Amino acid sequence: MSAAQYNCRKCPGYCCSYPLIPLDKRDVERLARHHNMTFEAAKQAFTKEDHGRKYAMRRKKDDIYGRICRFFDTKERCCTIYLARPSVCRSFPGGGRCGYYDFLSFERRAQEDEKFVALTNHED
């Protein structure tokens, strides 16, 4: 695997806005431990059945993307459960590149604005 060619700290959380953040039972167990909750309490508080998945992360309103992961800090634009984050988040984006970061970097250069956010809307 090549070295990462992106910096998540310079991104406003695009991947956290995906309509589906799939979880598995181990992810829910990790969230339960992190929050000192039972599995059932964590399941009810943090997940819902959606997009054909038994466990999908609940989301909340976000001024930039419409909806975003319930554990995303919308002011600081970062994950609030980084050490307990789901496996899909741990493996993202997979390779050495992130397509959104490449796009965002290009748009920031084109707009001559280091804080420019290329918008999409994931309201659903």
List alpha helices for 1-124, DSSP H. 25-34, 39-46, 87-91, 99-111
Residue from 38, 23, 12, 16 nearest 113 by CA: 12
What pLDDT does 20 receive? 96
* Residues comprising the chain, all counted: 124
- Residue 20 phi, psi dihedral angles, 5° rounding: -125, 120
- The whole-number average pLDDT for the span 88-101 is 84
pLDDT of residue 124 exceeding 90, the answer is: no
pTM: 0.83
As a whole number of angstroms, the distance between CA 109 and CA 62 comes to 25
Q: How confident is the model at residue 122 (pLDDT cuts 50, 70, 90)?
A: low
Please give the share of the chain, as a percent, with pLDDT higher than 70: 93
Inter-residue contact 57 to 43 (CB < 8 Å):
no
